[in-house]
Structure 1
Amino acid sequence: MSKFFLPILVAALPVFAGAAQLTEIEARWLQAGGPVLAYAKQLRLPIDIVVQPQAAPGAVPLAMGFDGGRCKLVFSMRGNPAAEEVLDQVPQSRRALMIEAMTAHEIGHCWRYAQGIWHAVPKGFQEPPVDAAVPAEIVKLTLELRDTRREEGYADLAALAWMQRNHPGEYGHVYQWLSAVRAAQPTTHVSHDTANWLGLVADGKSFAGNGTPFEQARALWDKGMLSAD
């Protein structure tokens, strides 16, 4: 995502400058993700919040895009009756927690982008060879899918590292929910197949050492890259 049309910008993080313009669901998701956004502000991550004003049926309710060197956390919830479908199996008492995890996932994307390592691989990692017999357009799509899957793997780890740091008693619930969401996808050609990385962190204690949750996620993501492809 690189361009946004007719956005409503909420300029302050995490103060909701445009609160009067927000719908109930938008305000609720912003409130739930507030701790992550406040932390992102402390880290000086270049984030803008964009609320799409037009109807977006079937759109991903929360996504990260990039434009002009800045990260754009995009809410697409208006005219989108399935916006909260991902939470259907979550008890009401834990829905804010899962929204916080989703926000941490998206901020993980921004951290990678701000670090200048978007789609970069760990030092010393060897890419598998490309089959010369495969048509060029198929190779291009396959590589794009691979790169997206890798970034989603990192972002899932970032979300779980955040949970372990801030809600360790709820880690198991978040991990089980996220694993179920990923397992419900098709088994082939999936950009969000992050099982390779999720398998490393069934126990939240896998996130060890100092550093931000994003740095802890990076160490485990590097480890998972050894067997990702």
Structure 2
Amino acid sequence: MIKRAFLPLLLLSSGLASAAELTEVEVRWLKAGSAVLAYAKQELKLPLDITVQPQARANDVPLALGYDNGRCKLVLSMRGNPNAEDILNTVPAAQRPLMIEAMVAHEIGHCWRYAQGRWHAVPSGFEERKQTSAAEELRDTRREEGYADLVALAWMQQRHPESYATVAAWMRQVRQPAPSSGSHSTLNWLQLAPTGDSFAAGLPLFEQADRLWQQGLSQDQ
């Protein structure tokens, strides 16, 4: 639940309505993710707000998704954050918009799960192995991250198939340092989608991701 004070932003179909209030970095990230955001708001009708923190905290990631009062909150935490773009350090400048677009698609995957009432839910009949509450919390978060990563890759396959391999390799690199038991270790799912052909063509985006996600659940017990 997000309860901090934010500077609200308005998005119009033609672009940013309040771009004058934004920093250069914020504008660049929102432009890179504009196709995903338009899809989420116009086609999916997701209850999505875009907000900017006026001052990032020490451990804030540049882009995150929360849910509050029935609405998704896509939060940019870049102001006063000198490390906001560290995640892109290994990426050539020309490819960075693609990676940002994938990150935005990842967050929209979270929003979809929230909006559908499926957050931390598993398929009917799936047998859970009993763990401590702390371990279960990590596992549940990791599963949601795995689902969102697959949504990002499914999006790339639909919109940028020629760049799928590049984005998938970068995502594996980003996830690799995480401990296998960590909340953001999603390699169980990323390895199920080494190429765009791993996704079932013709299905809706989230159903494509869900099919592979369910396959990876058995490996994440």
* TM-score range for the pair, normalised by the shorter chain length: over 0.9
One-letter identity of the residue aligned with 1:39: Y
Gaps of 5+ in 2: none
Equivalent in the alignment of 1:134:
none
Aligned to 1:157: 150
State how 1:137-176 maps to structure 2 within 5 Å.
139-176=132-169
Question: How many Å separate the matches in 1 of 2:58 and 2:5?
Answer: 17
Identity of counterpart residues, as a percentage?
57
Stretches of structure 1 that go unaligned for 5 or more consecutive residues are 131-138
RMSD value, Cα: 1.3
Is the contact made by 1:63 and 1:73 (CA closer than 8 Å) also made in structure 2?
yes
Residue 161 of structure 1, CA deviation: 0.2
- 1:34 partnered with 2:34: yes
Q: Which residue of 2 aligns with 1:223?
A: 215
Secondary structure in structure 2 of the residue aligned to 1:71: strand
| Partner AA of 1:8 in structure 2 | L
Match for 1:118: what amino acid?
W
Shift of 1:176: 0.4
Q: What does 1:30-69 align with in structure 2 at a 5 Å threshold?
A: 30-41=30-41, 42-69=43-70
AA at the equivalent of 2:4: F
> TM-score w.r.t. structure 1 length?
0.92
The size of the alignment, in residue pairs, is: 219
Q: CA deviation at 1:184?
A: 2.0
**Is 1:77–1:83's contact at 8 Å kept on the other side of the alignment?**
yes
Question: Which string of whole-angstrom CA distances, capped at 9 and with x for unpartnered residues, describes residues 19-38 of structure 1?
Answer: 11100000000000000001
- List, as ranges, runs of 4+ consecutive aligned residues in structure 1 with deviation greater than 4 Å: none
Q: Name the counterpart of 2:72.
A: 71
**Shift of residue 188 of structure 1?**
4.8
What pairs up with 1:100-139 in 2 under 5 angstroms?
100-130=101-131, 139=132
Equivalent residues of 2:139, 2:220 under 8 A apart: no
How far apart, in 1, do the equivalents of 2:149 and 2:180 lie? 19
